[in-house]
Amino acid sequence: RLLHERGKVIGRDLGICGYSSIHGYRNFHPSMTFLALPHYEMGIRAAGIIAGIRRGEVIPEGDEMIAGRVIIGESTAGFVRTT
């Protein structure tokens, strides 16, 4: 609202991107660009790691990589190329 009051247009003057799921951004106007995270897969992997720890397995340190999906909305329309 503040940007609108100052004459700024999201997607033209300022790009905004978030991360979550479609449910968190479906009522935004303009539509939001966001990184959709696979929450179910993340939970399954986390549960597997916890189960392994409980069984006494040695869990290698490091990052777990899970791919998300970029959903392009109007909030970055003037800044994102989709080629």
For residue range 4-54, what is the model confidence (pLDDT) as tens digits?
899 988 888 888 888 876 676 777 878 888 888 888 999 999 999 999 999
What global pTM score does this model have? 0.63
Paired tokens of 69: 């999906």
Residue 81: the pLDDT is 67
- Cβ neighbours for 80, distance < 8 A, ≥ 6 positions apart: 15, 33, 72
Residue 28: the pLDDT is 80
Nearest to 37 by CA among 11, 12, 64: 64
Residue 46: the pLDDT is 92
Q: E strands, the chain, where?
A: 17-20, 33-36, 69-71
15 or 79: which carries more pLDDT confidence?
A: 15
